[in-house]
Structure 1
Amino acid sequence: MKHIAIIGAGLGGLSAAVTLAARGYDVTVIEKNEHVGGKLMPIITDGHRFDFGPNTITMPDVFRSVIRNSGANPDDYFELIKLESHTVNHFSDGSTFTFDSDREKMEAEVRRLTGNKADKNQLASYLDEAEKLFEIANNRFFTRMDSKIDTGLWADMMKVHPLKSLHALHKKYFKDPRIIQALDRYATYIGSSPYVTPGTFALISHLELNDGVYFAKGGNWTIAKGFAKRASELGVEFRLGHEVTKIEVTNGKAHAVVIDHEEVMSCDAVLLNGELLTQYPRLVDAMDRPSFPAPTRDTIEPSVSAFVIMVGLNKRLNLAHHNVYFSDDYEAEFRALFEEERYADEPTIYISNSAHTDPSMGEAGDNLFILVNAPAHMTDIDAETYEHLIRRRLRTFGVDWEDSDVLFHRRVTPLDLTRDFYAYYGALYGTSANSKKGAFFRPSARSEDVSNIWFAGGSTHPGGGSPMVTLSGQFAARSMLEDIPLTI
């Protein structure tokens, strides 16, 4: 029986583990942290639960299919709840714009916000366009092992607005700046700027506003927990709290991984489900990966990072599940993040309050997951001072609480992401999509230099976000199934 070593228990590694084990392979997952899920990790306190990782789930069948294809019922492992009116966008003039996956409700909301028919009439055209973008991407990009160009793919790429920015595409359809700003925020889902990233990523609008937004009952981490449970049932061994410190390569082939600098574990293949941009250079000697020199900011631009505050309250603030409080100058905010490499003076603030949907997430009161975009670099700012700035901005929107209302408080900065997850300059999504290369040509699922090392995660094809990361694990697993016979 062939033995596969999977480094990292993120969604990509877990989905690959389930798939490989279901086909009879011997699989060991080594994870340096004590939890599965990678950045999708739970923070559990007395009275509150938080999802640190993705708070928004789309493409639910990507997750369900991992379990279903292994011969089990996904409903036995996690429960995905569809949120109808899912995100309330707030603006400094006091207006709000609520996102809904019901087309008629969205049209009514646009009409209420703008007071005219022009933007309302354009909504249907825009959402139809977003659906077409998704269909092309799904058929030509999300189902491929890599992003290598062929004639047909090149022709399809030219249909998805690769030369027009997301912001420019939104301006084509809408006049109201609030609608444009709310839709522009989708660029941050891939860690990029709407003023630079290709209009292709309007496809995210399709996922949220046509297909819908989901939440896993008990917390989105239950998806990772469900994957791990199914993997264990299939015989996968988990080594949590242990770190792979080297991949042994001889003559272009990996034959072992070194765990905690001392234990040598033989294997027939390796799946690296970690931050590719930092971990591949760390684990494989430079002479064994000539096609992959260690990247720098000058060679590969990192995506945005995050400044996070988790606050468990003893009361309810009447917030929706997803809430966004926009800055007045969005362009200046992204200029600060990417060009000036500093924290924005007036950041847009996102708050997840999953207790609104699932009271078990906040039995004692609201569980506020507060996030603002942060620059990806190795330095940091005075976290307490920046938190005070965020609190002051929230008060201008009427969101406030007393110190005596706080039962739990924790901050996470880019430096924490670098330390805990080896994030590339603290970036959330590895590479930004601010260039055509970063947007469309991420590394494929297989090493060019070492024949039996595969990759999964947000830095590899097809990109960042929990569904894409899960798909990357599937791509790697399918390639392994084709190339590595189960028995000699």
Structure 2
Amino acid sequence: MNISSRFPTPARPQADTRPHAAIIGAGVGGLATGALLGAKGYRVTILDPLDQPGGRAYAHRQDGFTFDAGPTIITAPWLFENLWRDCGGKLEDDVDLRPNTPFYQVRFDDGTIFDYSGDQVAMEAQIAEIEPRDVMGYRSFLDESRRIYEVAFEQLAHKPFHSLLFTAKTLARLVKLGGYRSVYSVVSSHFRSDKLRTLFSFHPLLIGGNPFSATSFYCLIAHLEGKYGVHHAVGGTNALVRGIASLVTRNGGQIRLGQTVTEIETEGRRASGVRLASGERISADIVISNADPATTYGKLLKTYPRRRWTDVKIDRGDYSMSLFVWYFGTNRRYDEVKHHTMIFGPRYKGLLDDIFRERRLAEDFSLYLHRPTASDPSLAPEGGDAFYVLSPVPNLAGNTDWAVEAERYRRRIEKRLEETMLPGLSRHIVSSLIATPLDFRDRLLSWQGAAFALEPKLLQSAWFRPHNKSEELDNLYLCGAGTHPGAGLPGVVSSARIVADLVPAPATFVTGVEGATRGQAS
């Protein structure tokens, strides 16, 4: 399937002689990279096994409901504004981003409700009700979050970590900011209340990190959200995906769906193109992989004599948790439920130990409940609501048999939601779909079924993460959640910009002849 028919491509001469960039994966990272490279002057072909673009940001459409498959929290909207600007457009012409207030509603296990927002006065009033002494801690935490943000995000998120000298200099600065500490450790130094320690440390879970081991650099999220807010896209996050896809095709790029890349072909130290499951070979001047780096190196370059990302190193990596996601639609509305709700269970550290260390499916859980119809009723039939509920679970390095456990686990979550947020839920469900770690492995081709690639720990971040410019091949580049700067929509868009800055200018290829010759399917 070729998506170009849905996004009209400007007419070009039949023989397109521009240098050719083949991109593996039509996730947000791959699409953003393709859009930027097209604007830079490359002929772009994006290949993806699914039937629509998006990857983890796919959309399920069922029974009149639209369910975003994955990311739903949009921060740093200026990153998307800049993407559109650099591709010759305006974000607001294609996508309608709107703020969420509050950012999230949080429900603790004892029933305490907390509205998490960027309103410092309202936040301090709620904090004072839980622990008055922690109001000053909140202020000092925000100050520390700002200091980390100004270095780790503003100065470094868009720069590649390829040089050991640059890395050493940078790490020295980050050590001064306490980057060797965990998010939970930093938060605990500011707050006395266990509830507030949980509230202000859970954010790494949104990008696959364990708050008890994720580097404290991720404390920057508090300042990022406070400064720019939390947004959603009208029509769902996949509306944002469709907008980025249109940027690709406007510059003559192709998005070929239903196409699985099985191998990156090489000539010496260069990637010469890709081979598809159909047997088709597509030559390219540069290759960019938006796939999980472990899949890129461990499967697509399986026979290549790798020097750094060997099978042994891949196997020894610590991968993020996976997710169990239940998408469901109801024939009634739950108007008291916010757009984003975090539902904490009775345990915090113990549950995370079960997920990340023991890789054991626990009997209890904490949940993220997404109700986009709180802001956008068009995503459900009239009078209904669209939901998804997400539970962090162990990746497939554990021994959970999801073929057996999936429905039992879904019923337990349904019961928990009925008891807490959605009374009478079981009587009102009219549409249902689930995704387990098996889907992340088999459908999204994620190593060990991990939802966010490598776990974002200090020694798996920056220089220690798979580089944006491959260490193995001279013209292979990586974008997406598994490379620098990491997971989350801001991270993958930043990775796309890094790659677009790293690739050679199209004029590097002799008068486009190489691109014209090598860029054709053979």
User: Taking structure 1 as the reference length, what is the TM-score of the superposition?
Assistant: 0.95
Q: Aligned to 2:503, what secondary structure does the other structure show?
A: helix
Deviations 1:407-437, CA, capped at 9 Å, x for gaps: 1101100011100011111111111124533
Counterpart selection for 2:381 from 363, 380, 385: 363
Say if 1:252 and 1:288, in contact at 8 Å, map to a contact too: no
Moved >4 Å (runs of 4+): 295-298
Consecutive unaligned residues in structure 1, runs of 5 or more: none
Mapped partners of 1:304, 1:180: distance in 2: 21
Mapped partners of 1:98, 1:295: distance in 2: 45
Say if 1:249 and 1:288, in contact at 8 Å, map to a contact too: no
Say if 1:307 and 1:372, in contact at 8 Å, map to a contact too: yes
Mapped partners of 1:486, 1:3: distance in 2: 10
Q: Aligned to 1:223, what secondary structure does the other structure show?
A: helix
Name the amino acid aligned to 2:495: S
Please say if 1:153 is aligned against 2:176. no
Query: Where does residue 376 of structure 1 map in the other structure?
Result: 395
Mapped partners of 2:82, 2:109: distance in 1: 42
Mapped partners of 2:178, 2:496: distance in 1: 28
1:339-358 counterparts in 2 under 5 A? 339-358=357-376
Name the amino acid aligned to 1:352: H
Say if 1:429 and 1:464, in contact at 8 Å, map to a contact too: yes
Q: Aligned to 1:50, what secondary structure does the other structure show?
A: strand
The change in CA–CA distance for 1:87 and 1:367 in structure 2 (over 3 A counts) is same
Please say if 1:12 is aligned against 2:35. no
Deviations 1:120-154, CA, capped at 9 Å, x for gaps: 22222211211111111124420212264435312
The change in CA–CA distance for 1:479 and 1:435 in structure 2 (over 3 A counts) is closer
Counterpart selection for 1:431 from 442, 451, 454: 454
Say if 1:6 and 1:271, in contact at 8 Å, map to a contact too: yes
Deviations 1:264-293, CA, capped at 9 Å, x for gaps: 122111011111111332112433423221
Mapped partners of 2:510, 2:242: distance in 1: 30
Mapped partners of 1:308, 1:185: distance in 2: 18
Mapped partners of 1:250, 1:196: distance in 2: 40
1:141-180 counterparts in 2 under 5 A? 141-146=156-161, 148-149=163-164, 150=166, 151-180=168-197
Query: Where does residue 239 of structure 1 map in the other structure?
Result: 256
Name the amino acid aligned to 1:58: T
Name the amino acid aligned to 2:432: H
Query: Where does residue 446 of structure 1 map in the other structure?
Result: 469
Name the amino acid aligned to 1:234: N
The change in CA–CA distance for 1:139 and 1:86 in structure 2 (over 3 A counts) is closer
Query: Where does residue 385 of structure 1 map in the other structure?
Result: 408
Mapped partners of 1:229, 1:380: distance in 2: 40
The change in CA–CA distance for 1:439 and 1:254 in structure 2 (over 3 A counts) is closer
Please say if 1:476 is aligned against 2:494. no
Name the amino acid aligned to 1:143: H
The change in CA–CA distance for 1:78 and 1:398 in structure 2 (over 3 A counts) is closer
Mapped partners of 1:401, 1:134: distance in 2: 43
Say if 2:26 and 2:47, in contact at 8 Å, map to a contact too: yes
**Deviating more after overlay: 453-462 vs 259-268:** 259-268
Query: Where does residue 133 of structure 1 map in the other structure?
Result: 148
Q: Give the deviation of 1:486 after TM superposition.
A: 5.2
Counterpart selection for 2:489 from 463, 466, 470: 466
Deviations 1:227-260, CA, capped at 9 Å, x for gaps: 1111111100111111112221011112221122
Q: Give the deviation of 1:46 after TM superposition.
A: 3.2
The change in CA–CA distance for 1:439 and 1:410 in structure 2 (over 3 A counts) is farther
Mapped partners of 1:102, 1:15: distance in 2: 32
Please say if 1:412 is aligned against 2:435. yes
Name the amino acid aligned to 1:360: S
Q: Aligned to 1:193, what secondary structure does the other structure show?
A: coil
Name the amino acid aligned to 2:426: D
1:245-256 counterparts in 2 under 5 A? 245-256=262-273
Name the amino acid aligned to 1:408: S
Please say if 1:185 is aligned against 2:206. no
Query: Where does residue 35 of structure 1 map in the other structure?
Result: 52
Name the amino acid aligned to 1:121: M
Counterpart selection for 1:57 from 37, 52, 74: 74
Q: Aligned to 1:84, what secondary structure does the other structure show?
A: coil
Name the amino acid aligned to 1:195: F
The change in CA–CA distance for 1:384 and 1:32 in structure 2 (over 3 A counts) is same
Query: Where does residue 305 of structure 1 map in the other structure?
Result: 322
Counterpart selection for 1:291 from 301, 308, 324: 308
Say if 1:198 and 1:439, in contact at 8 Å, map to a contact too: no
Say if 1:84 and 1:102, in contact at 8 Å, map to a contact too: no
Q: Aligned to 1:475, what secondary structure does the other structure show?
A: helix
Name the amino acid aligned to 1:202: C
Q: Give the deviation of 1:352 after TM superposition.
A: 0.5
**Deviating more after overlay: 14-23 vs 137-146:** 137-146
Say if 2:456 and 2:486, in contact at 8 Å, map to a contact too: no
The change in CA–CA distance for 1:291 and 1:483 in structure 2 (over 3 A counts) is farther
The change in CA–CA distance for 1:440 and 1:83 in structure 2 (over 3 A counts) is farther
Q: Aligned to 2:434, what secondary structure does the other structure show?
A: strand
Q: Give the deviation of 1:338 after TM superposition.
A: 1.6
Mapped partners of 1:145, 1:333: distance in 2: 34
Report the number of matched residues.
486
1:210-289 counterparts in 2 under 5 A? 210-289=227-306
Mapped partners of 1:322, 1:196: distance in 2: 25
Deviations 1:84-119, CA, capped at 9 Å, x for gaps: 2121111122211110112222122222343x2x21
Consecutive unaligned residues in structure 2, runs of 5 or more: 1-17, 512-522
Say if 2:179 and 2:458, in contact at 8 Å, map to a contact too: no
**Deviating more after overlay: 191-200 vs 320-329:** 191-200
Q: Aligned to 2:316, what secondary structure does the other structure show?
A: coil
Q: Give the deviation of 1:190 after TM superposition.
A: 2.6
**Deviating more after overlay: 434-443 vs 77-86:** 434-443
